Structure 1
Amino acid sequence: MTVWFKRALVAATLAIALPVTAANYTIGTGSQSGTYYPLGGMLAQIWNKNIDDFNMRVEVTAASVENVIKVASGQQLAGIAMGDSVLAAVEGEAPFKRPMDVAVLFALYPNVVQFMVAADSNIHSVADLKGKKVSVGAPGSGTRVGATNILKALGMSEADFKAQSLNYTATTEALSNGQIDAGVIIGSAGVGAITELALTRNIRILSFSEDELTKINTALPAYAGMEIAADTYNKVPAFTAPAVWNVLVVKKDLDPKLAEQMIETAFANMDKVQRSISDAKNTTLENIDRLAGVPLHTSTQAFLDKQQGN
């Protein structure tokens, strides 16, 4: 028996004996102190448990922009992103250099634009940010894109203040230590980073006027005003701010069968997600297509048609 034949025989034996391994996937989330990370973790856990030969890990990222790029380039199977970032991606607008070939698998929950200041700060509106040190979010994050676009809609640019590029955790730490005058977090109402900050420091969140909200909605149709109740955060008064939906994105050409399994499994187990993640109460069949202007994956549309009896 030749050496070559022996090697071939061993290789064939191993091929028969070894079990078929599950396909490995990644879901892009965001900072561990935000909502994206635990929500992505719950979805991955449900898919891993209920879809055969499916193994997904959760990746900490800079959030929306990074997730969209990685999904479009095949580095992630799915990613959580803010609606305005996804709209910019499919249209090839800044910060994206070209159109991104992504689609929405389903909408998740609305994000609120939260400009945080110390409770005794003399900053009471966006106009008061001029000349101040302001964290507008980490590079590659939806917060950065959204904050910059909202300020632009209100006639302000980063040249008008001293911009800092900090993530959620670094933003709240810097505000707590007096290193910045204001910080922006675009996240769920009740997001962990602000909740923790409000337990140790007295803060306020800027409220937007009707005129400001109208200007923002005209320039950025994905945003609409949302009223946030008092004490959503410890001792923080009620405020009104722009809000935008978060969505789960995948490649437009994701295998329809796999996409169908992911959608059906997620909604069949959404009660489990909702018990762990309060914002998931908004992840419903009624809200599945809340982001206008971005195509739904073909399997999502088929799932909706089936649910509606079409």
Structure 2
Amino acid sequence: MRTLKYALAASLLVTAPAAFAQQTLSIATGGTGGVYYPLGGGLAEMISEHIEGYEASAEVTGASVENMGLIMRNEADIAFALADTVHQAYMGEDDFEGRQVENTRALASVYPNAVQLVTLADSDIESLSDLEGQRVSVGAPGSGTELNARAVLESNGLTYDDMNVQRLNFNETADAIRDGDIDAGFWSVGPPTSSIMNLASTRDIRLISLTDEEIENAQEDEPVFAPYELKAETYEGVDEAVQTIGIPNVLVVNADMDEQLAYDVTKMLFERIDELIDVHPAAENTTVEFSMESTPVPFHPGSIRYYEEIDAEIPDDLRP
């Protein structure tokens, strides 16, 4: 009897840890030269530390377009994506025609991207129209940068046929500009971003401002676009403010996410936002007000529960 008792106790000791196994969450981000990846890493650390029963990891991806596919197929639990990409996926428009991601829900909008068109300071490129005939990176395939670059170009009378287009990620674009392999490149990312900072530390650069008319043309094509001023000295050697376009970034999940988990992540995000700001200053824009103004698809019910607890005014179209 005593032997059986000890055997049962030993069995409980062996099997008990399985009952407390951590569930792993995958956070789809972007390339390592952008903002999604460090913020995703910071969010993963926060989840692992503060939400009991879960650990999380940030995954390198092709960014917005790829990330929406990962959410649709439940191959990622949380993803960062640009608002225009999120809206197109939700509605089944443009690149998502025939593969509508109706199961998209938002936790929050986290910060605005700025479309940043970069060239070397001694380049002949001084305006958007000067890109004609040039070698231009429009961003990695499947990225929100490419969608934004194409929208800005086409709404202002330029097509890929008018230039030598290359699809490079942020780090590749910076290296190619530095080495003279391309003439200019687009970034759609929260400033400042490490890849442009690294480029500016080795070569003198110029950021191209958009005119009021060019911004208005782009807004007609993509209603989520908004005028955005990039502050002077955001990057080394760029002494004047740059007029461009801003696009919100959204933290998205599948509608199937557990309601309590969605609530916990949303609550943690806003009540511990200082931890994310320590990772990257772009998170300074992560506020409840920004989420209410900028989110293009309905919130997850778990997030709504948190917003209702803090008496946020939730627009009707953001309720599923």
The alignment's TM-score, normalised by the length of structure 1, stands at: 0.92
Displacement of 1:191 in angstroms is 1.0
Q: Counterpart of 1:4?
A: none
C-alpha distance 14-74 of structure 1, shift in aligned 2 (>3 A): farther
The question of whether the paired residues in 2 share the 8 Å contact of 1:25 and 1:76 is answered with yes
Contact 2:86 2:296 in 1 (8 A): no
The partner residue of 1:245 within 245, 248, 262 is 248
Structure 2: unaligned runs, 5 residues or longer? 1-7, 314-320
* CA RMSD, 1 decimal: 1.7
Q: 3-state DSSP class of the match of 2:94? A: coil
The sequence identity of aligned pairs, in percent, is: 35
**Aligned positions of 1:1-310 closer than 5 A:** 16-20=15-19, 21-96=21-96, 97-100=98-101, 101-236=103-238, 237-308=240-311
User: Which stretch has the larger CA shift, 292-301 or 236-245?
Assistant: 292-301
Residue type matched to 2:268 in 1? T
Q: Which moved more, 1:50-59 or 1:267-276?
A: 267-276
Structure 1 CA distance, aligned partners of 2:53 and 2:302?
A: 20
Q: Which moved more, 1:23-32 or 1:298-307?
A: 298-307
Comparing 258-267 with 300-309, which one deviates more in the overlay? 300-309
How far the C-alpha of 1:275 sits from its partner, in A, is 2.3
Contact kept, 8 Å, 2:104 with 2:254, in 1: the verdict is: yes
Deviation, 1:301, is 2.2
SS of residue paired to 2:260: helix
Per-residue displacement from partner, 1:202-256 (whole Å, max 9, x unpaired)? Answer: 1111101111111111111111111112111001132100110111000123211
- Within 1, Cα distance between the matches of 2:12 and 2:229? 65
Once residues 218 and 37 of structure 1 are traced to their aligned partners in structure 2, the CA distance between those partners, rounded to angstroms, is: 30
Deviations 1:129-158, CA, capped at 9 Å, x for gaps: 111110001101111111112111112111
> Residues 309, 295 of structure 1: CA spacing in aligned structure 2 closer, same or farther, 3 A cutoff?
closer
- CA pair 72-15 structure 1, distance change in 2 beyond 3 A: farther
Stretch deviating more after TM superposition (41-50 or 299-308): 299-308
Distance 1:51 1:119, change over 3 A: same
Q: Which runs of 5+ in 1 are unaligned?
A: 1-8
SS at match of 1:245: strand
Shift of residue 309, structure 1, vs aligned partner: 7.1
Alpha-carbon distance in structure 2 between the residues aligned to 1:290 and 1:56: 28
Matched positions, count: 300
